Structure 1
Amino acid sequence: MSNHILFLLADGFEETECVAPYDILIRGGVKVSLASIHTDPFVEGAHGLTIRADALLSELDPSLYSGIFLPGGGRGVENLRNSQAVQETVRSFMGAGKWVTAICAAPIVLAAAGVLHDKRVTSYPSTEPDIRSYCKSYSQDRVVVDGKLVTSRGPGSAEEFGLQLLALLEGKDKSEDVRKGMVAR
């Protein structure tokens, strides 16, 4: 299966954490689909940017994707965590050994889904107490990879997160080519 990552979007998502990894993965040749967890394809970010999702999560077959991505953002994470469909999707992807990726506060969604018990993770600093007791170990590294689970700290690490994820999906050479083309650090 070629890599096809499903971005789960909820009202209140952190724009930088969504757009930077999306752009990096697309530049690297990874297919990305945006799914609204709501009944409307238009999803409003935490700072007013509205994105039109490709589809509604309720209309999709998760087996067609090689991984999922959950952006942070306080209200967005709350909406993701409160969605039974998101919880089921997270558990399904983890159980199938697919990529599960989350940034900023979004690892709270993974904790709520009960999939972190044997994993090393990171998250936005203020969410550490909410996640620490649900995972094997907590790290303050900017990006943490534990098998097919990838987590990151916040908006400031979104580019690094995207490049790391691209390296995992398509190889270090592809990630380095994209990094150079973007004039990224």
Structure 2
Amino acid sequence: MQNRILFLLADGFEESEMVLPFDILTRGGVKVSLASIHEDPYVEGAHGLTIKADALLSEVDLKLFSGVFLPGGGRGVENLRALEAVLETVRSFVSADKWVTAICAAPIVLALAGILHDKRVTSYPSTEADIRPYCKAYSNDRVVVDGKLVTSRGPGSAEEFGFALLSLLEGEEKMTAVKAGMVAR
């Protein structure tokens, strides 16, 4: 079965944290679907890039996906954390033993969903104090994998995060081939 990852998009998302993992995963054969958490499929990024989502979160059948991804961005994370449907989505993926992934400030949403108590995580440096009380261990590593939870630091680690996730989903060989094709380090 093809791996499918659901990207949750909220107004204010950090563009590079969404676009780089999207590009890497799709090049590696992972089906990525974009879901707007709003009632409008058009979602505006933190720096003005507007993306049309494939669907609204309210319309998505979560059972079709192997994992969920939450990009960061200050305003984007505020919007993600304010919606109970996002917290419930995260919890449902954990309950189904599926991948839960987040970058930058988005691990705050995972903390609010109550899923980090036994996990090692990382996040954007300024959010450490908000996340540390909710997790087992906090790390300053650029990408942290703990079971089926994958977290990363920020825009500068988005490519590394994308390759790590691709390796976990499709294997080291596929990741290496995609990296070579992109002339990435």
Instruction: Provide TM-score, normalisation by structure 1.
Output: 0.99
Name the structure 1 match of 2:148.
Answer: 148
Name the structure 1 match of 2:95.
Answer: 95
Instruction: Note the 1:100-111 alignment, pairs <5 A.
Output: 100-111=100-111
Name the structure 2 match of 1:86.
Answer: 86
Distance, in Å, in 1 between the alignment partners of 2:177 and 2:133 is 38
Which amino acid is 2:80 matched to?
L
Q: Deviations over 1:125-158 (max 9, x none)?
A: 0000000000000000000000000000000000
Structure 2: stretches of 5+ with no match in the other structure? none
Distance, in Å, in 1 between the alignment partners of 2:151 and 2:15 is 17
Aligned positions, number: 185
Distance, in Å, in 2 between the alignment partners of 1:30 and 1:100 is 15
Name the structure 2 match of 1:114.
Answer: 114
1:162 counterpart SS class = helix
Distance, in Å, in 2 between the alignment partners of 1:184 and 1:160 is 10
Distance, in Å, in 1 between the alignment partners of 2:36 and 2:161 is 22
Instruction: Note the 1:155-166 alignment, pairs <5 A.
Output: 155-166=155-166
Instruction: Provide TM-score, normalisation by structure 2.
Output: 0.99
Distance, in Å, in 2 between the alignment partners of 1:133 and 1:47 is 31
2:68 counterpart SS class = strand
Which amino acid is 2:173 matched to?
D
Distance, in Å, in 2 between the alignment partners of 1:4 and 1:12 is 24
Distance, in Å, in 2 between the alignment partners of 1:76 and 1:59 is 20
Q: Deviations over 1:67-98 (max 9, x none)?
A: 00000000000000001110000000011110
Distance, in Å, in 1 between the alignment partners of 2:32 and 2:82 is 24
Distance, in Å, in 2 between the alignment partners of 1:2 and 1:22 is 15
Distance, in Å, in 2 between the alignment partners of 1:111 and 1:33 is 24
Distance, in Å, in 1 between the alignment partners of 2:57 and 2:107 is 19
1:133 counterpart SS class = helix
Give the share of equivalent positions with the same residue, in percent.
79
Q: Is residue 12 of structure 1 aligned with residue 3 of structure 2?
A: no
Q: Which runs of 4+ in 1 moved over 4 A?
A: none
Instruction: Note the 1:2-81 alignment, pairs <5 A.
Output: 2-81=2-81
Structure 1: stretches of 5+ with no match in the other structure? none
Which amino acid is 1:148 matched to?
K
Deviation at 1:2, TM superposition (A): 2.3
Distance, in Å, in 2 between the alignment partners of 1:176 and 1:130 is 35
Which amino acid is 2:112 matched to?
A
Distance, in Å, in 2 between the alignment partners of 1:122 and 1:182 is 26
Distance, in Å, in 2 between the alignment partners of 1:128 and 1:181 is 35
